[in-house]
DNA sequence: GTTGTGACTACCA
DNA sequence: ATGGTAGCCACAA
């Protein structure tokens, strides 16, 4: 099951439009697994460094990059976002303009 | 079986 | 706005 869930998570993350962002909880809900926000993070963490998945478009519910402001990971994510036109101040992102209102889950197994 | 640990959240003081 | 706290869930010791 968790294997399946990972697949769906990847799918949803891949579905985030360029220049938009979504939160961990949002992704979890879109997958049909509300409450699995934490697991979304865990899953993204396991991604290989050369993965093509737009993991940088995933942020926390407060609208910020989860990494500490100075960290390399944070800078990497911020660069990728800004390159897509997303405005990032420190770790903060302007959700009003960039947050993605995702719709249904493409690959929801059950249902 | 229990315990500790996160790329998380929602609440409450 | 800010910090602490208590749920949350899979996973590894």
Residue whose Cα is closest to the C1' of B7: A41
Query: Would you say A16 and A54 are in contact if contact means Cβ atoms under 8 Å apart?
Result: yes
pTM of this structure: 0.90
Residues 81-110 of A with CB under 7 A from strand B: none
pLDDT in tens, chain A (111 residues): 788 999 999 999 999 999 999 999 999 999 999 999 999 999 999 999 889 999 999 999 999 999 999 899 999 999 999 999 999 999 999 998 999 977 655 544 433
Q: Report d(CA A10, CA A108) in Å as an integer.
A: 12
Residue A25: is it exposed, middle or buried by C-beta count within 10 angstroms (0-12/13-18/19+)?
Answer: middle
| Cβ density class A69-90: b for 16+ within 10 Å, e for less | eeeeebeebbeebeebebebee
Strand B atom within 7 Å of A60 CB = yes
């Amino acid at each position: 099951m968790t294997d399946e869930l990972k697949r769906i998570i990847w799918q949803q993350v891949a579905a985030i439009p360029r220049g938009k962002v979504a939160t961990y909880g949002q992704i979890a809900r879109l997958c049909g697994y509300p409450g699995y926000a934490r697991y979304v993070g865990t899953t993204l963490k396991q991604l290989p460094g050369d993965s093509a998945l737009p993991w940088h478009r995933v942020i926390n519910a407060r609208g910020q990059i989860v990494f500490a402001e100075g960290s390399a990971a944070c800078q990497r994510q911020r660069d990728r976002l800004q390159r897509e036109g997303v405005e990032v101040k420190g770790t903060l992102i302007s959700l009003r303009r960039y947050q993605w209102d995702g719709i249904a889950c493409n690959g929801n197994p059950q249902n």
